Amino acid sequence: MELLTRADESVFLWLNGWVGRFPALDAIARLTISDYLVPVVLSLILLGLWFAGRTSALRERNQRGVMTALLGLALANLMVEAFNQVLFRPRPFSELEVSLLFYQPTDSSFPANPAALGFAIATGVWLWNRKAGSAMLVMAAAYSIARVYAGVFYPLDVIGGAAIGTLVSLVAALVLRLAEPVPSRALRFARSLYLA
């Protein structure tokens, strides 16, 4: 375990060591790691997907992707909260000399909540729409890596968060499949109100 921790710290220090060398990269990282940019963009993509699709079959696939992503998001929040109740890992800036580009969060570093949520949303969409889901996975990965670069998380924190987000979205897809015909009825009801 100690070897893994040292490797995690070494990768973190290497990545965070680039802060300050390239001001343009720091500016991009500051923009990417904000609490708003990536979450808002992912949310807007979900909203757009809900109504997107040239045919009713494509629209329904997108809507099922959104449903899977939202259930995955809820499950990811529950999983991160459960981990935080039993495990607390200090943030890198509280243990190491770091160049910090972000405010200092006080919650546990492991698992990385932004990674869990980003990957839960992206995976949920990817299961139904590969093109949109792949773009969202790239955004979730950039969001996560930028937070390591900025001194907020260790690499294993974001890997753990990404794994949680991915797994819970797979579970969400299974739950929705087992819950049939409830999702289909919900979509029909939304269509009757012109909400889908």
Residue 196 confidence (pLDDT): 83
pLDDT in tens, 128-141: 999 999 999 999 99
125 within 8 A of 132, measured Cβ to Cβ: yes
Residue 7 confidence (pLDDT): 94
- For the chain, the average pLDDT equals 95
Radius of gyration of the chain (CA): 18
Asked if residue 1 has pLDDT above 80, the reply is: no
User: For residue 194, what pLDDT band results from cuts at 50, 70 and 90?
Assistant: confident
Q: Which tokens belong to 89?
A: 């890992």
- Which of these, 154, 165, 170, lies nearest to 77 by C-alpha position? 165
pTM of the prediction?
A: 0.94
Q: Which domains does the chain have, with CATH numbers?
A: 25-192 (1.20.144.10)
End-to-end CA distance of the chain: 49
- The amino acid at 36: Y
Rounded to whole angstroms, the Cα distance separating 30 from 147 reads: 9
